[in-house]
Amino acid sequence: MHGRNACFFMGRRRIEAAKIEIVVKRLNRAIDILVSNGITNFLTFGERGFDTLAASLILIKREKFNDIKLVLIRRSSAYLRPFITAPSTLPERMLFDVDRVVCISERRDTYVTKRASACIAYMPNQLGLVMRRKMLKECFLINVAHTV
């Protein structure tokens, strides 16, 4: 499922309102570039902010690219307990739209960097990106805060 054809998302929980439009345009282009280069699995943690924005865009793009998949990575199986009422948050609603849910016991960063060849990030602060560079040394990185 993963490997050379997987990408994960990493970024801030808050995106400035004035920058959302350009971030969405860059994110859209980055996804198109990766899909055209064989990336078919997109891994998300379902966190608020950039991660959820990116996952939502993948759900929309599945209509155009039938072979792309969205995989939700969760830390424990406790998150998968049945809902008594309708899901209220986007990550809860995404459970019904993702192609697969994977529950892990290891660190999330370790799990995705072992399995993905690309990362789309939203890191407006270059220092934050430098700090993550060591973790991402095996991944092709696109930072939509500054490029694409």
Pure H helices in the chain: 20-36, 50-61, 90-94, 108-115, 126-133
Identify the band that residue 87 occupies on the pLDDT scale cut at 50, 70 and 90.
low
Query: What is the structure's pLDDT at 34?
Result: 92
The answer to whether residues 108 and 130 touch, using CB atoms and an 8 Å cutoff, is: no
Query: What is the structure's pLDDT at 21?
Result: 84
**Residues 22-70: pLDDT tens digits?**
788 999 999 999 999 999 999 988 777 888 889 889 988 888 888 899 9
Mean pLDDT, all residues of the chain: 76
Query: CA 71 from chain center: how many Å?
Result: 9
Query: What is the structure's pLDDT at 70?
Result: 92
The answer to whether residues 145 and 124 touch, using CB atoms and an 8 Å cutoff, is: yes
The answer to whether residues 129 and 122 touch, using CB atoms and an 8 Å cutoff, is: no
User: Computed from CA positions of residues 119, 122, 124, 128, in that sequence, does the dihedral angle turn out positive or negative?
Assistant: negative
